[in-house]
């Protein structure tokens, strides 16, 4: 009598709750885990040997720009090769839907790729349907973006939305939530959103309340007005009583170095009165569209893509400027539209933020960049290998918790993020001795080391350093309290 489809034997289970590892078999039937413990050897159809390996829940990438990649590169190799089994897309105010654009997407919508034709979903539900018809390899939770709505509703962006425009954006948030979104995001330092005052954002976040939605805030400023911007995000969450995620928490620019413990104290204090979470990525450099305003002397910037100069992807901006005999800012202007990596974070702050017990891990990876920030391919193995094992920032059990049960509880993804009977069979198996990121800033697109096998809803998607071609991903619903 065969009872289980697959049994993973001889591994050490880290179950995602933060509990210490233990030796157990993990039995899987269809898309669920049926047993964790000792399993009768006559009852399974297929055995996977996990000797020497950790068996953990698949990782949740809580901060991504994978909206289009889920459709255009559905194997999602940069993610599954890291052990990621679920992603949250639509961050920083930029979502693929609901917006139809015939032309080349203007910045920052080109975070989702600069080719025309991908923004073609008039309704959020059409995007959801497209993903259902052509599923990706990973599960996905979807946010609807403020900047996308501004581009849908407004004719210019250097002003606040008029009352009628705001009402239409509220209707779109409401519709997106009914059609499958889990929340709303902003990117308030992007040029097409900077003119949006707090009063524009408040009713859009409030529109989430009847749907138990979540607000993910790339807040107004990560530089000289960092504290003010965090206060604004907290105030929006407090006033609307909607859970607030502070996106890619960081203290950018030399003037902010050392502020990490202070901003964390502000967030910690706020947590006493409101629902606040945060995410971060494990690198001391950030990445977004190229902003000539940030091309100041002494700031190291690497070009990740450029429409007029595609061959310059991967080159340093100051070298390009030298070659052209102009200032870095002038070179940046000539490279637009373009993307960049900014080497402007302090390693001690990065560590303080990662070490904070409520910090979730989100890659913020940009899958369409020609020369992407290495976080796209390396975030999760880097936390496990570099920061947990090599730097001792926290235990491996705690590293896994940050990537699994902490985010699934925060987002309300029921029956995921833990290895226990009844949970979905999203599994990452890795070697605790070798696991690490392999990409660098000069050669970023490299699968991680030590990820042995990855399973999504009971289907093996990655094994022996190869994608299996399976695409079993499903849309994730938000079920608070799940």
Strand (E) or helix (H) holding 399:
helix 396-403
- What's the number of CA atoms in the CB half-sphere (13 Å) around residue 182? 25
With contacts defined by CB under 5 A, name the span among 18-26, 76-84, 115-123, 214-222 that binds Zn ion: 214-222
Q: Say if residues 475 and 127 touch (Cβ distance below 8 Å).
A: no
With contacts defined by CB under 5 A, name the span among 215-223, 415-423, 459-467, 471-479 that binds Zn ion: 215-223
If you count DSSP H runs as helices and E runs as strands, how many of each does the chain have, helices first?
A: 14, 24
Strand 4-9 versus strand 25-29 pairing type = antiparallel
Shortest CB 366 distance to Zn ion, Å:
10
Q: Which is nearer to Zn ion, 314 or 362 (CB)?
A: 362
Q: Which is nearer to Zn ion, 218 or 375 (CB)?
A: 218
Shortest CB 91 distance to Zn ion, Å:
6
Cα(76)–Cα(247) distance, rounded to whole angstroms?
22
Shortest CB 281 distance to Zn ion, Å:
11
Going through 30-76 in order, the beta strands assigned E by DSSP cover: 32-37, 44-49, 54-57, 59-61
Q: Which is nearer to Zn ion, 92 or 423 (CB)?
A: 92
Q: Please, which residues have CB within 8 angstroms of residue 296's CB and are 6 or more apart in sequence?
A: 328, 329
With contacts defined by CB under 5 A, name the span among 49-57, 82-90, 129-137, 213-221 that binds Zn ion: 213-221
- Residue 246 binds Zn ion, judged by CB under 5 A: no
- Residue 218 binds Zn ion, judged by CB under 5 A: yes
Q: Which residues in 65-94 contact Zn ion (CB under 5 A)? A: 92
Tokens of 364: 């913020």
Shortest CB 219 distance to Zn ion, Å:
9
- Residue 229 binds Zn ion, judged by CB under 5 A: no
User: What SS3 state is found at 107?
Assistant: coil
With contacts defined by CB under 5 A, name the span among 118-126, 198-206, 216-224, 419-427 that binds Zn ion: 216-224
Q: Which is nearer to Zn ion, 179 or 189 (CB)?
A: 189
Shortest CB 383 distance to Zn ion, Å:
19
Q: Which is nearer to Zn ion, 187 or 450 (CB)?
A: 187
Shortest CB 89 distance to Zn ion, Å:
12
The DSSP annotation for 318-384 comes to HHHHHHHTS-HHHHHHHH-SEEEEEE---HHHHHHHHHSTTEEE-----TT-SS--THHHHHHHHII
Cα(342)–Cα(290) distance, rounded to whole angstroms?
9
Cα(146)–Cα(153) distance, rounded to whole angstroms?
10
Q: Which is nearer to Zn ion, 188 or 425 (CB)?
A: 188
Q: Which is nearer to Zn ion, 15 or 364 (CB)?
A: 364
Peptide bond into 337 cis (omega under 30): yes
Q: Which is nearer to Zn ion, 146 or 218 (CB)?
A: 218
Site mask for Zn ion (CB under 5 A), range 163-202, x = bound: ----------------------------------------
Place of tokens 């006493």: 272
Number of residues that bind Zn ion (CB under 5 A): 2
Q: Which residues bind Zn ion (CB under 5 A)?
A: 92, 218
């Amino acid at each position: 009598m065969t009872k289980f489809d697959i049994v993973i034997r001889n591994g050490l289970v880290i179950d995602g709750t933060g509990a210490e590892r233990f030796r157990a078999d993990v039995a899987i039937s269809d898309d669920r885990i049926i047993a964790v413990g000792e399993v009768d050897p006559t009852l399974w159809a297929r055995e996977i040997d996990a000797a020497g390996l950790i068996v953990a829940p698949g990782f949740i990438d809580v901060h991504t720009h994978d909206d289009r990649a889920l459709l255009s590169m559905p194997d999602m190799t940069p993610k599954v090769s890291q052990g990621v089994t679920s992603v949250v897309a639509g961050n920083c105010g930029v979502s693929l839907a609901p917006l139809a654009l015939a032309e080349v997407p203007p910045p920052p919508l080109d975070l989702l790729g600069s080719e025309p034709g991908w923004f073609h979903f008039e309704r959020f539900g059409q995007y959801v349907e497209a993903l259902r018809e052509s599923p990706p390899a990973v599960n996905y939770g979807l946010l609807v973006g403020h900047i996308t709505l501004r581009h849908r509703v407004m004719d210019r962006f250097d002003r606040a939305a008029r009352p009628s425009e705001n009402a239409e954006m509220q209707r779109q948030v409401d519709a997106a939530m009914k059609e499958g979104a889990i929340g709303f995001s902003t990117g308030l330092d992007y040029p097409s959103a900077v003119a949006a005052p707090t009063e524009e954002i408040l009713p859009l976040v409030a529109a989430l309340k009847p749907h138990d939605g979540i607000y993910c805030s790339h807040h107004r400023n990560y530089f000289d007005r960092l504290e003010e911007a965090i206060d604004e995000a907290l105030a929006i969450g407090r006033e609307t009583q909607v859970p607030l995620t502070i996106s890619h928490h960081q203290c950018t620019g030399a003037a902010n170095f050392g502020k990490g413990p202070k901003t964390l104290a502000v967030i910690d204090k706020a947590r006493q009165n409101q629902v606040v979470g945060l995410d971060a990525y494990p690198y001391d450099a950030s990445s977004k569209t190229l902003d000539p305003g940030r091309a100041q002397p002494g700031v190291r910037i690497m070009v990740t893509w450029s429409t007029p100069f595609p061959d310059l992807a991967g080159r340093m901006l100051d070298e390009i400027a030298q070659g052209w005999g102009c200032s870095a800012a002038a070179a940046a202007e000539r490279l637009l539209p373009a993307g960049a990596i900014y080497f402007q974070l302090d390693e001690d702050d990065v560590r303080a933020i990662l070490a904070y017990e409520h910090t979730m891990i989100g890659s913020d990876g940009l899958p369409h960049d020609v020369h992407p920030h290495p976080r796209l391919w390396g975030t999760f193995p880097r936390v496990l290998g570099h920061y947990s094992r090599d730097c001792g920032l926290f235990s491996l059990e705690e590293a896994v918790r940050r990537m699994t049960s902490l985010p699934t509880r925060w987002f309300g993804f029921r029956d995921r993020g833990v290895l226990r009977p009844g949970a979905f069979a999203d599994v990452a198996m890795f070697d605790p001795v070798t696991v690490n990121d392999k990409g660098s800033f000069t050669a970023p697109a490299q699968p991680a080391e030590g990820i042995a096998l990855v399973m999504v809803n009971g289907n093996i998607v990655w094994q022996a350093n190869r994608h299996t071609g399976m695409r079993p991903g499903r849309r994730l619903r938000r079920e608070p309290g799940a």
